[in-house]
Protein backbone atom coordinates (compact mmCIF):
# COMPACT_ATOMS: atom_id res chain seq x y z
CA UNK A 1 0.00 0.00 0.00
CA UNK A 2 2.80 2.41 0.89
CA UNK A 3 4.41 1.76 -2.48
CA UNK A 4 1.16 2.47 -4.33
CA UNK A 5 0.66 5.71 -2.39
CA UNK A 6 4.21 6.80 -3.18
CA UNK A 7 3.73 6.08 -6.88
CA UNK A 8 0.39 7.92 -6.89
CA UNK A 9 1.97 10.91 -5.19
CA UNK A 10 4.87 11.01 -7.63
CA UNK A 11 2.46 10.86 -10.55
CA UNK A 12 0.40 13.71 -9.09
CA UNK A 13 3.54 15.72 -8.42
CA UNK A 14 4.73 15.17 -11.99
CA UNK A 15 1.31 16.05 -13.44
CA UNK A 16 1.03 19.30 -11.48
CA UNK A 17 4.63 20.25 -12.26
CA UNK A 18 4.08 19.67 -15.97
CA UNK A 19 0.88 21.71 -15.79
CA UNK A 20 2.79 24.59 -14.18
CA UNK A 21 5.47 24.40 -16.88
CA UNK A 22 2.90 24.19 -19.68
CA UNK A 23 0.84 27.25 -18.74
CA UNK A 24 1.37 30.26 -20.99
CA UNK A 25 -0.40 32.70 -18.63
CA UNK A 26 2.13 32.34 -15.81
CA UNK A 27 5.24 34.42 -15.21
CA UNK A 28 8.53 32.53 -14.77
CA UNK A 29 8.76 33.77 -11.16
CA UNK A 30 5.34 32.28 -10.43
CA UNK A 31 6.37 28.97 -11.99
CA UNK A 32 9.45 28.87 -9.81
CA UNK A 33 7.36 29.66 -6.72
CA UNK A 34 4.97 26.80 -7.44
CA UNK A 35 7.72 24.30 -8.16
CA UNK A 36 9.40 25.26 -4.87
CA UNK A 37 6.13 24.76 -2.99
CA UNK A 38 5.63 21.37 -4.66
CA UNK A 39 9.16 20.33 -3.71
CA UNK A 40 9.12 21.62 -0.14
CA UNK A 41 5.53 20.61 0.69
CA UNK A 42 4.90 17.62 -1.59
CA UNK A 43 1.42 16.47 -0.53
CA UNK A 44 0.14 19.85 0.69
CA UNK A 45 1.58 21.59 -2.38
CA UNK A 46 -0.49 19.45 -4.75
CA UNK A 47 -3.65 20.17 -2.74
CA UNK A 48 -2.82 23.86 -2.62
CA UNK A 49 -2.45 23.98 -6.40
CA UNK A 50 -5.79 22.22 -6.84
CA UNK A 51 -7.52 24.88 -4.71
CA UNK A 52 -5.73 28.11 -5.68
CA UNK A 53 -3.26 27.33 -8.45
CA UNK A 54 -5.60 28.13 -11.32
CA UNK A 55 -7.37 31.49 -11.48
CA UNK A 56 -10.38 29.74 -12.94
CA UNK A 57 -13.65 31.49 -13.63
CA UNK A 58 -15.93 29.26 -15.64
CA UNK A 59 -19.27 27.49 -15.55
CA UNK A 60 -22.56 29.29 -14.84
CA UNK A 61 -20.84 32.23 -13.11
CA UNK A 62 -18.63 32.90 -16.13
CA UNK A 63 -21.58 32.50 -18.51
CA UNK A 64 -23.62 34.97 -16.47
CA UNK A 65 -20.80 37.53 -16.59
CA UNK A 66 -20.37 37.09 -20.33
CA UNK A 67 -24.12 37.53 -20.89
CA UNK A 68 -24.14 40.64 -18.69
CA UNK A 69 -21.16 42.12 -20.54
CA UNK A 70 -22.85 41.47 -23.89
CA UNK A 71 -26.05 43.14 -22.69
CA UNK A 72 -24.29 46.19 -21.28
CA UNK A 73 -21.56 46.41 -23.93
CA UNK A 74 -20.30 50.00 -24.23
CA UNK A 75 -20.55 51.58 -27.67
CA UNK A 76 -16.78 51.87 -27.93
CA UNK A 77 -16.32 48.15 -27.40
CA UNK A 78 -19.13 47.31 -29.78
CA UNK A 79 -17.84 49.52 -32.55
CA UNK A 80 -14.22 48.53 -32.16
CA UNK A 81 -13.18 52.18 -31.98
CA UNK A 82 -10.17 53.29 -30.00
CA UNK A 83 -9.49 56.75 -28.56
CA UNK A 84 -7.06 59.05 -30.30
CA UNK A 85 -3.67 58.29 -28.75
CA UNK A 86 -2.45 61.78 -29.67
CA UNK A 87 -5.37 63.40 -27.88
CA UNK A 88 -5.91 61.17 -24.85
CA UNK A 89 -2.63 59.30 -24.43
CA UNK A 90 -1.46 55.72 -24.69
CA UNK A 91 -2.54 54.84 -21.14
CA UNK A 92 -6.12 55.83 -21.98
CA UNK A 93 -5.99 53.67 -25.09
CA UNK A 94 -4.77 50.73 -23.06
CA UNK A 95 -7.50 51.28 -20.44
CA UNK A 96 -10.10 51.35 -23.22
CA UNK A 97 -8.90 47.98 -24.50
CA UNK A 98 -9.80 46.33 -21.19
CA UNK A 99 -13.59 46.61 -21.30
CA UNK A 100 -14.41 49.22 -23.92
CA UNK A 101 -15.07 52.24 -21.74
CA UNK A 102 -13.33 54.97 -23.69
CA UNK A 103 -12.53 58.52 -22.54
CA UNK A 104 -15.56 60.78 -22.10
CA UNK A 105 -15.49 64.57 -22.14
CA UNK A 106 -17.53 66.96 -20.02
CA UNK A 107 -17.17 65.49 -16.52
CA UNK A 108 -16.99 67.31 -13.21
CA UNK A 109 -15.59 66.06 -9.92
CA UNK A 110 -15.30 66.92 -6.25
CA UNK A 111 -12.78 65.48 -3.82
CA UNK A 112 -14.71 64.68 -0.64
CA UNK A 113 -13.70 65.00 2.97
CA UNK A 114 -13.30 61.54 4.36
CA UNK A 115 -14.80 59.62 6.00
CA UNK A 116 -17.60 61.50 7.79
CA UNK A 117 -17.81 64.21 5.13
CA UNK A 118 -17.98 61.67 2.33
CA UNK A 119 -20.74 59.75 4.09
CA UNK A 120 -22.76 62.91 4.75
CA UNK A 121 -22.45 64.04 1.13
CA UNK A 122 -23.57 60.66 -0.16
CA UNK A 123 -26.56 60.49 2.16
CA UNK A 124 -27.52 64.01 1.06
CA UNK A 125 -27.54 62.74 -2.55
CA UNK A 126 -29.65 59.74 -1.46
CA UNK A 127 -32.18 62.04 0.14
CA UNK A 128 -32.35 64.13 -3.04
CA UNK A 129 -32.67 61.11 -5.36
CA UNK A 130 -35.74 61.10 -7.60
CA UNK A 131 -35.48 57.96 -9.73
CA UNK A 132 -32.86 55.41 -8.72
CA UNK A 133 -29.99 54.51 -6.39
CA UNK A 134 -27.62 51.63 -7.06
CA UNK A 135 -24.86 50.62 -4.66
CA UNK A 136 -22.20 47.91 -4.71
CA UNK A 137 -19.83 47.47 -1.76
CA UNK A 138 -17.20 44.88 -1.01
CA UNK A 139 -17.56 45.40 2.75
CA UNK A 140 -20.75 46.67 4.36
CA UNK A 141 -20.65 46.59 8.16
CA UNK A 142 -23.60 46.89 10.51
CA UNK A 143 -22.05 49.90 12.25
CA UNK A 144 -22.82 53.62 12.33
CA UNK A 145 -21.97 54.21 8.68
CA UNK A 146 -23.56 50.96 7.52
CA UNK A 147 -26.83 51.65 9.27
CA UNK A 148 -26.92 55.34 8.23
CA UNK A 149 -26.50 54.38 4.56
CA UNK A 150 -29.10 51.62 4.90
CA UNK A 151 -31.60 54.01 6.52
CA UNK A 152 -31.08 56.54 3.71
CA UNK A 153 -31.72 53.80 1.15
CA UNK A 154 -34.89 52.75 2.97
CA UNK A 155 -36.14 56.33 3.09
CA UNK A 156 -35.60 56.60 -0.67
CA UNK A 157 -37.30 53.27 -1.38
CA UNK A 158 -40.35 54.26 0.68
CA UNK A 159 -40.85 57.40 -1.40
CA UNK A 160 -40.75 55.41 -4.64
CA UNK A 161 -37.08 55.55 -5.67
CA UNK A 162 -35.82 52.31 -7.26
CA UNK A 163 -33.05 51.13 -4.93
CA UNK A 164 -30.57 48.32 -5.52
CA UNK A 165 -27.98 47.14 -3.03
CA UNK A 166 -25.30 44.57 -3.83
CA UNK A 167 -22.52 43.24 -1.61
CA UNK A 168 -19.75 40.68 -1.81
CA UNK A 169 -20.57 37.31 -0.25
CA UNK A 170 -17.37 37.15 1.83
CA UNK A 171 -16.56 40.81 2.45
CA UNK A 172 -20.10 41.43 3.78
CA UNK A 173 -20.83 37.93 5.11
CA UNK A 174 -21.94 39.21 8.53
CA UNK A 175 -24.04 42.05 7.12
CA UNK A 176 -26.19 39.82 4.87
CA UNK A 177 -27.20 37.93 8.03
CA UNK A 178 -28.02 41.11 9.95
CA UNK A 179 -31.36 42.69 10.84
CA UNK A 180 -30.34 45.75 8.81
CA UNK A 181 -30.05 43.70 5.60
CA UNK A 182 -33.47 42.16 6.28
CA UNK A 183 -34.89 45.63 6.92
CA UNK A 184 -33.54 46.84 3.57
CA UNK A 185 -35.38 44.05 1.81
CA UNK A 186 -38.57 44.67 3.79
CA UNK A 187 -38.47 48.37 2.81
CA UNK A 188 -38.40 47.49 -0.89
CA UNK A 189 -34.67 47.75 -1.58
CA UNK A 190 -33.79 45.04 -4.07
CA UNK A 191 -30.68 43.13 -3.01
CA UNK A 192 -28.05 40.86 -4.51
CA UNK A 193 -24.96 39.00 -3.29
CA UNK A 194 -21.93 38.81 -5.57
CA UNK A 195 -19.93 35.59 -5.92
CA UNK A 196 -21.87 33.47 -3.41
CA UNK A 197 -20.08 30.31 -2.31
CA UNK A 198 -23.13 28.06 -2.45
CA UNK A 199 -21.84 24.50 -2.28
CA UNK A 200 -18.08 25.09 -1.92
CA UNK A 201 -17.22 21.75 -3.52
CA UNK A 202 -19.25 22.56 -6.65
CA UNK A 203 -18.06 26.18 -6.69
CA UNK A 204 -14.43 25.08 -6.44
CA UNK A 205 -14.67 23.39 -9.84
CA UNK A 206 -16.02 26.60 -11.42
CA UNK A 207 -13.77 29.23 -9.85
CA UNK A 208 -11.29 29.87 -7.10
CA UNK A 209 -13.20 30.22 -3.85
CA UNK A 210 -11.29 33.39 -2.96
CA UNK A 211 -12.26 35.39 -6.06
CA UNK A 212 -13.98 38.48 -4.69
CA UNK A 213 -15.95 41.51 -5.87
CA UNK A 214 -13.85 44.30 -4.35
CA UNK A 215 -15.75 47.15 -6.05
CA UNK A 216 -17.15 50.23 -4.32
CA UNK A 217 -19.72 51.95 -6.54
CA UNK A 218 -22.59 54.29 -5.65
CA UNK A 219 -24.75 55.81 -8.42
CA UNK A 220 -27.68 58.19 -7.83
CA UNK A 221 -30.20 58.91 -10.62
CA UNK A 222 -27.47 57.77 -13.04
CA UNK A 223 -26.22 61.35 -12.73
CA UNK A 224 -24.01 61.27 -9.64
CA UNK A 225 -21.23 58.81 -8.86
CA UNK A 226 -19.45 58.28 -5.55
CA UNK A 227 -16.36 56.11 -5.85
CA UNK A 228 -12.97 55.60 -4.28
CA UNK A 229 -11.44 53.36 -1.64
CA UNK A 230 -13.97 53.57 1.19
CA UNK A 231 -16.17 50.60 2.05
CA UNK A 232 -19.54 51.10 3.70
CA UNK A 233 -18.05 51.10 7.19
CA UNK A 234 -16.87 53.42 9.94
CA UNK A 235 -13.26 54.58 9.84
CA UNK A 236 -12.81 52.77 13.17
CA UNK A 237 -13.40 49.52 11.23
CA UNK A 238 -14.39 47.57 14.32
CA UNK A 239 -13.58 44.16 12.79
CA UNK A 240 -9.89 45.18 12.88
CA UNK A 241 -9.78 48.01 15.44
CA UNK A 242 -6.09 47.88 16.31
CA UNK A 243 -5.17 49.14 12.83
CA UNK A 244 -7.75 51.96 12.80
CA UNK A 245 -8.51 54.47 11.59
CA UNK A 246 -8.88 53.40 7.97
CA UNK A 247 -7.82 56.42 5.91
CA UNK A 248 -9.72 56.55 2.62
CA UNK A 249 -10.28 58.84 -0.33
CA UNK A 250 -13.61 59.39 -2.09
CA UNK A 251 -14.77 61.42 -5.08
CA UNK A 252 -18.13 62.67 -6.27
CA UNK A 253 -18.42 62.77 -10.06
CA UNK A 254 -20.98 63.98 -12.58
CA UNK A 255 -21.05 63.59 -16.35
CA UNK A 256 -20.90 60.79 -18.93
CA UNK A 257 -18.38 58.76 -16.89
CA UNK A 258 -21.19 58.07 -14.40
CA UNK A 259 -22.99 56.03 -17.06
CA UNK A 260 -19.87 53.92 -17.62
CA UNK A 261 -19.55 53.08 -13.95
CA UNK A 262 -23.26 52.35 -13.73
CA UNK A 263 -22.91 49.88 -16.61
CA UNK A 264 -20.05 48.23 -14.75
CA UNK A 265 -22.30 47.83 -11.72
CA UNK A 266 -25.06 46.58 -14.02
CA UNK A 267 -22.81 43.78 -15.25
CA UNK A 268 -22.48 42.49 -11.70
CA UNK A 269 -26.17 43.01 -10.97
CA UNK A 270 -27.34 41.13 -14.08
CA UNK A 271 -25.39 38.06 -12.95
CA UNK A 272 -27.87 37.80 -10.06
CA UNK A 273 -30.94 39.39 -11.67
CA UNK A 274 -30.91 38.72 -15.45
CA UNK A 275 -33.09 40.90 -17.64
CA UNK A 276 -33.14 44.01 -15.46
CA UNK A 277 -30.99 46.27 -17.63
CA UNK A 278 -34.01 48.44 -18.38
CA UNK A 279 -33.90 49.61 -14.77
CA UNK A 280 -30.54 51.28 -15.39
CA UNK A 281 -31.39 54.75 -16.68
CA UNK A 282 -29.85 56.62 -19.60
CA UNK A 283 -26.65 58.55 -18.97
CA UNK A 284 -25.90 62.24 -18.66
CA UNK A 285 -24.80 64.57 -21.41
CA UNK A 286 -21.38 66.20 -21.32
CA UNK A 287 -21.18 69.14 -18.93
CA UNK A 288 -19.74 72.46 -20.18
CA UNK A 289 -16.13 72.96 -19.17
CA UNK A 290 -15.77 69.45 -17.83
CA UNK A 291 -12.72 67.21 -17.98
CA UNK A 292 -11.88 63.88 -19.65
CA UNK A 293 -12.52 60.74 -17.60
CA UNK A 294 -13.16 57.05 -18.13
CA UNK A 295 -14.20 54.13 -15.98
CA UNK A 296 -12.00 51.06 -15.79
CA UNK A 297 -13.32 47.69 -14.66
CA UNK A 298 -10.95 44.77 -14.14
CA UNK A 299 -11.25 41.27 -12.78
CA UNK A 300 -10.59 37.60 -13.41
CA UNK A 301 -12.94 37.72 -16.39
CA UNK A 302 -10.55 39.94 -18.41
CA UNK A 303 -7.11 39.22 -19.82
CA UNK A 304 -4.66 37.75 -17.32
CA UNK A 305 -2.18 40.30 -15.99
CA UNK A 306 -4.06 43.24 -17.48
CA UNK A 307 -4.23 45.27 -14.25
CA UNK A 308 -0.49 45.07 -13.63
CA UNK A 309 0.05 46.09 -17.26
CA UNK A 310 -2.34 49.04 -16.84
CA UNK A 311 -0.50 50.27 -13.74
CA UNK A 312 2.78 49.95 -15.63
CA UNK A 313 1.41 51.84 -18.62
CA UNK A 314 0.29 54.65 -16.32
CA UNK A 315 3.66 54.75 -14.57
CA UNK A 316 5.45 55.04 -17.91
CA UNK A 317 3.32 58.13 -18.73
CA UNK A 318 5.09 60.13 -16.01
CA UNK A 319 7.65 62.68 -17.19
CA UNK A 320 8.31 64.69 -14.02
CA UNK A 321 6.52 63.28 -11.00
CA UNK A 322 4.70 60.14 -9.91
CA UNK A 323 3.05 59.78 -6.48
CA UNK A 324 1.45 56.50 -5.41
CA UNK A 325 -0.44 55.54 -2.26
CA UNK A 326 -1.61 51.99 -1.68
CA UNK A 327 -2.39 49.96 1.43
CA UNK A 328 -1.22 46.65 -0.04
CA UNK A 329 2.00 46.78 -2.03
CA UNK A 330 3.10 43.49 -3.61
CA UNK A 331 3.65 44.77 -7.16
CA UNK A 332 5.29 41.77 -8.81
CA UNK A 333 7.91 42.07 -11.50
CA UNK A 334 5.91 44.04 -14.08
CA UNK A 335 4.99 46.98 -11.83
CA UNK A 336 8.24 46.93 -9.88
CA UNK A 337 10.22 47.24 -13.11
CA UNK A 338 7.99 50.13 -14.22
CA UNK A 339 8.57 52.00 -10.93
CA UNK A 340 12.33 51.49 -10.98
CA UNK A 341 12.55 52.43 -14.67
CA UNK A 342 10.59 55.64 -14.06
CA UNK A 343 12.88 56.63 -11.18
CA UNK A 344 16.02 55.79 -13.16
CA UNK A 345 14.69 57.95 -16.00
CA UNK A 346 14.67 61.00 -13.74
CA UNK A 347 11.01 60.93 -12.68
CA UNK A 348 10.47 61.93 -9.04
CA UNK A 349 8.74 58.76 -7.77
CA UNK A 350 7.18 58.64 -4.29
CA UNK A 351 5.49 55.59 -2.77
CA UNK A 352 3.33 55.91 0.38
CA UNK A 353 2.30 52.75 2.26
CA UNK A 354 1.03 52.07 5.79
CA UNK A 355 3.58 51.69 8.55
CA UNK A 356 1.39 48.97 10.12
CA UNK A 357 -0.65 46.69 7.90
CA UNK A 358 -3.61 44.48 8.79
CA UNK A 359 -2.02 41.79 6.61
CA UNK A 360 1.24 40.58 8.11
CA UNK A 361 1.95 38.66 4.93
CA UNK A 362 1.65 41.77 2.75
CA UNK A 363 3.65 43.88 5.19
CA UNK A 364 6.62 41.52 4.94
CA UNK A 365 6.32 40.85 1.22
CA UNK A 366 6.12 44.57 0.41
CA UNK A 367 9.35 45.29 2.26
CA UNK A 368 11.18 42.78 0.07
CA UNK A 369 10.85 45.34 -2.76
CA UNK A 370 12.36 48.23 -0.78
CA UNK A 371 16.03 47.57 -1.65
CA UNK A 372 15.38 47.50 -5.42
CA UNK A 373 13.14 50.55 -5.35
CA UNK A 374 15.49 52.59 -3.18
CA UNK A 375 18.50 51.63 -5.30
CA UNK A 376 16.64 53.02 -8.33
CA UNK A 377 15.83 56.29 -6.56
CA UNK A 378 12.22 55.68 -5.48
CA UNK A 379 11.31 57.55 -2.27
CA UNK A 380 9.29 55.42 0.15
CA UNK A 381 7.30 56.74 3.11
CA UNK A 382 5.37 54.76 5.74
CA UNK A 383 2.14 56.36 6.98
CA UNK A 384 1.74 56.53 10.76
CA UNK A 385 -1.83 57.85 11.14
CA UNK A 386 -3.69 54.54 10.82
CA UNK A 387 -4.13 52.17 7.94
CA UNK A 388 -3.70 54.24 4.79
CA UNK A 389 -6.36 52.61 2.61
CA UNK A 390 -6.43 55.25 -0.16
CA UNK A 391 -5.46 53.88 -3.57
CA UNK A 392 -4.18 56.86 -5.58
CA UNK A 393 -1.79 57.52 -8.42
CA UNK A 394 -1.09 61.02 -9.73
CA UNK A 395 1.01 61.72 -12.81
CA UNK A 396 2.77 65.06 -13.35
CA UNK A 397 0.11 66.87 -11.34
CA UNK A 398 -2.37 66.49 -14.22
CA UNK A 399 -3.68 62.91 -14.37
CA UNK A 400 -5.19 60.73 -11.63
CA UNK A 401 -5.98 57.03 -11.34
CA UNK A 402 -8.13 56.33 -8.31
CA UNK A 403 -10.52 53.66 -7.08
CA UNK A 404 -10.59 50.22 -5.50
CA UNK A 405 -7.45 48.63 -7.01
CA UNK A 406 -4.48 47.96 -4.77
CA UNK A 407 -0.97 47.46 -6.10
CA UNK A 408 -0.95 43.81 -5.16
CA UNK A 409 -1.48 40.39 -6.65
CA UNK A 410 -5.07 40.07 -5.44
CA UNK A 411 -6.16 43.24 -7.23
CA UNK A 412 -4.12 42.29 -10.29
CA UNK A 413 -5.56 38.80 -10.77
CA UNK A 414 -8.27 37.80 -8.29
CA UNK A 415 -10.59 40.72 -7.50
CA UNK A 416 -13.23 42.53 -9.52
CA UNK A 417 -12.18 46.18 -9.25
CA UNK A 418 -13.41 49.61 -10.38
CA UNK A 419 -11.30 52.72 -10.96
CA UNK A 420 -11.50 56.14 -12.56
CA UNK A 421 -8.83 57.57 -14.86
CA UNK A 422 -9.14 61.31 -15.43
CA UNK A 423 -7.07 64.21 -16.69
CA UNK A 424 -7.66 67.52 -14.94
CA UNK A 425 -4.90 69.60 -13.33
CA UNK A 426 -7.28 71.30 -10.88
CA UNK A 427 -8.84 68.12 -9.47
CA UNK A 428 -5.57 66.19 -9.66
CA UNK A 429 -4.00 69.05 -7.71
CA UNK A 430 -6.49 68.43 -4.89
CA UNK A 431 -5.74 64.71 -4.93
CA UNK A 432 -2.04 65.57 -4.82
CA UNK A 433 -2.65 67.84 -1.83
CA UNK A 434 -4.28 64.90 -0.08
CA UNK A 435 -1.25 62.78 -0.93
CA UNK A 436 0.97 65.49 0.55
CA UNK A 437 -1.12 65.31 3.73
CA UNK A 438 -0.42 61.57 3.84
CA UNK A 439 3.28 62.31 3.42
CA UNK A 440 3.20 64.81 6.27
CA UNK A 441 2.02 62.01 8.58
CA UNK A 442 4.55 59.51 7.25
CA UNK A 443 8.07 58.50 8.16
CA UNK A 444 10.49 58.42 5.21
CA UNK A 445 12.20 55.07 4.81
CA UNK A 446 15.92 55.62 5.33
CA UNK A 447 17.87 54.21 2.35
CA UNK A 448 20.92 53.63 4.53
CA UNK A 449 18.87 51.65 7.04
CA UNK A 450 17.49 49.45 4.26
CA UNK A 451 20.95 48.88 2.84
CA UNK A 452 22.07 47.82 6.33
CA UNK A 453 19.39 45.14 6.71
CA UNK A 454 20.85 41.87 7.92
CA UNK A 455 20.95 38.81 5.68
CA UNK A 456 18.39 36.92 7.83
CA UNK A 457 15.99 39.86 7.61
CA UNK A 458 16.33 40.02 3.81
CA UNK A 459 15.76 36.26 3.58
CA UNK A 460 12.66 36.61 5.77
CA UNK A 461 11.09 39.36 3.63
CA UNK A 462 12.07 37.72 0.33
CA UNK A 463 10.57 34.40 1.39
CA UNK A 464 7.15 36.05 1.65
CA UNK A 465 7.60 37.70 -1.75
CA UNK A 466 8.50 34.35 -3.33
CA UNK A 467 5.36 32.70 -1.97
CA UNK A 468 3.21 35.72 -2.90
CA UNK A 469 2.45 34.62 -6.50
CA UNK A 470 1.24 31.27 -5.18
CA UNK A 471 -1.45 32.89 -3.02
CB-hemisphere CA count at 13 Å for 309? 16
Catalytic residue among 65, 190, 262, 389: 389
Active site (annotated) includes residue 379: no
Is 221 annotated in the active site?
Answer: yes
Peptide bond into 115 cis (omega under 30): yes
CA distance 295 to 98: 10
Q: What does residue 223 show for φ and ψ, rounded to 5 degrees?
A: -125, -20
Q: Which of 143, 273, 396, 430 is catalytic?
A: 396
CA pair distance 240, 346, nearest whole angstrom: 40
Integer Cα distance of 313 and 92 in angstroms? 9
Of the residues 164, 190, 214, 262, which is catalytic? 214
| Contact (CB, 8 A) for 127 and 156 | yes
In terms of C-beta density within 10 A (0-12 exposed, 13-18 middle, 19 or more buried), how is residue 441 classed? Answer: middle
User: Quick check: is 301 catalytic?
Assistant: no
Choosing from 210, 221, 281, 348, which is the catalytic residue?
221
Which candidate in 190, 216, 226, 262 is catalytic?
A: 216
Non-local (6+) Cβ contacts of 114 within 8 A are 228, 230, 235, 247, 248, 249, 250
CB atoms within 10 A of CB 155: 16
**Residues taking part in catalysis:** 214, 216, 221, 389, 391, 396
Amino acid sequence: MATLLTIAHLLLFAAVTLRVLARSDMLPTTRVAWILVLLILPAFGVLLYVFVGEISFRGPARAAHRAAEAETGPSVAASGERPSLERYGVASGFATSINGFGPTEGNRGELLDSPAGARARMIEDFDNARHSISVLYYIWLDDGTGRAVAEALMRAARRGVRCKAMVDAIGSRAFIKSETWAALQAAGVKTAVALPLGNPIVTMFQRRLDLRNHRKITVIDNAVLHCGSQNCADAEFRVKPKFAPWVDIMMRLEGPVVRQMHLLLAQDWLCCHPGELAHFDAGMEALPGGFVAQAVGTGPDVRHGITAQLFSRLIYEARRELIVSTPYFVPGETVCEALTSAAQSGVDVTLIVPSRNDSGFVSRASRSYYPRLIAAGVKIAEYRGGLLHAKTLTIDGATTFLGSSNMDIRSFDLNFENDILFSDPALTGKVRQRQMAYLAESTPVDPEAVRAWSVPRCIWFNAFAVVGPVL
